[in-house]
Every structure is written in structure tokens, then in C-alpha cells.
Chains A and B, each alone.
Chain A
Amino acid sequence: GAGVSQSPSNKVTEKGKDVELRCDPISGHTALYWYRQSLGQGLEFLIYFQGNSAPDKSGLPSDRFSAERTGGSVSTLTIQRTQQEDSAVYLCASRFGGRGGRDTQYFGPGTRLTVL
């Protein structure tokens, strides 16, 4: 079956513009995560969805960042008024189990965001 897919694979934008990043999880996976990977940094957690709800959004760096998930499937991460420090690879992961599960998170290929 298909893995986690993300689009676009690359996005170049100008400072101050809004961007939307999309994630299609593995079919049937109820949990969905967004992480950010900056140069020289480890993967940083941003937000977690269980179904369409986000029980943990504590990793979102500012109120310019928001995310939603619809139909228990596709998720969109939106960054408003982008800044240069937002440049990073944004990774999406999904997991089959419910809240508190210990099963594996499977990652997509990521979206590389460059803010000029």
C-alpha cells in the first residue's frame, strides 16, 4: 500500500507570505503528526492529531502556525506571514493506533520550505 505522502515536495516563498503544506497519511491510520527538521537540529514535534482533534499542539512555535485535519485523513499545516526562521523541512508521520499507543510512526518524504 501507499505510504505517507506530502505536497509540495519543495516550496520557495517570500517573507510575509502564507503557505499551506499538505499531508496524506497511510489509509486507516488514526494518528497524525507534524514535525520540523531544521539544519543542524533534530526533529522537533509540532502537533498531534487523533482523528480530527488535536489533543497536543504544544510544539507549534507561534500563533502564525496552525493545522487542521479533515475526515480523519488529510491534514494541512498553514504558516502565516512566513519568516526566514521558518525555513526547514516539514515532516508528517502517521500511526495506526489510538491515543497512547506505542506502535510505529511512519514518515512521509517531507516538504522543504525556503523563505527568502
Chain B
Amino acid sequence: EDQVTQSPEALRLQEGESSSLNCSYTVSGLRGLFWYRQDPGKGPEFLFTLYSAGEEKEKERLKATLTKKESFLHITAPKPEDSATYLCAVQEPERLVFGKGTKLTVNP
């Protein structure tokens, strides 16, 4: 069965302090890797989909990259409003398999 592991479990940054979140996966034939953001009490909000190694996507202060074994979510000069849990998932044929998430806190 596909496995998705996210690290670290929690990350605390100062505003403006750039960092990266990791998502490692084992899957036979990647169909898609998804990043979501989840705020407390809300459902996951879609950020990015990556399909092949070497692919990169950007949105504001976030940049997602993909290799054959892992994906990184780079956060550049984060702001307090970037505080959330970031979820990574891989697509099995008819479902998403999620990691447990990284809880990011950005202090002003």
C-alpha cells in the first residue's frame, strides 16, 4: 500500500524566516501528488498538484517541487497568516492517501 510521511510534524518560524516542509512517498507509479492547507475547524484547501519528477509550481510565498521519492513545500518569507497544517497526499487510483501533516506556526 502507498505510504506518505511528512516531516517535521510541527514547525515554528519567525515571520520572514524561510523554510521547507517534506513529504516522502512510496508508490508504484505516481498518478499525482497533492498539497492542501487546512486551517483549524475547516476542510482542506487545495494548493498544488504535481505529476512528474522535476515539476515545480508556485503560488505567492509557496513553491512545491517533486522528485521521484519526495516533494518539498518551500515557504519564502512567511507571514503569520501562513500558519496552518499542510497536508500532502498521493493519488491511488480512486482515493487520496494522506500524510499526517505538518503544523506550521509563524510568529510575528
CA distance A41 to B4 in the complex (A): 13
Other-chain contact of B46, A42, A45, A100, A104 (Cβ < 8 Å): A104
Answer whether A48 and B94 are a contact pair too, CB < 8 Å, given A107-B43, A110-B42: yes
What is the interface of chain A, defined by CB distance below 8 A to chain B?
4, 33, 35, 40-45, 48, 55-56, 59, 91, 93, 99-100, 102, 104-110, 112
30 A-B residue pairs with CB within 8 Å: A4-B43, A33-B95, A33-B96, A35-B96, A41-B100, A42-B98, A42-B99, A42-B100, A43-B87, A48-B95, A56-B95, A59-B95, A91-B44, A99-B94, A100-B94, A102-B31, A102-B32, A102-B49, A102-B51, A102-B91, A104-B46, A104-B49, A105-B96, A106-B46, A107-B36, A107-B44, A107-B46, A109-B41, A109-B42, A110-B43
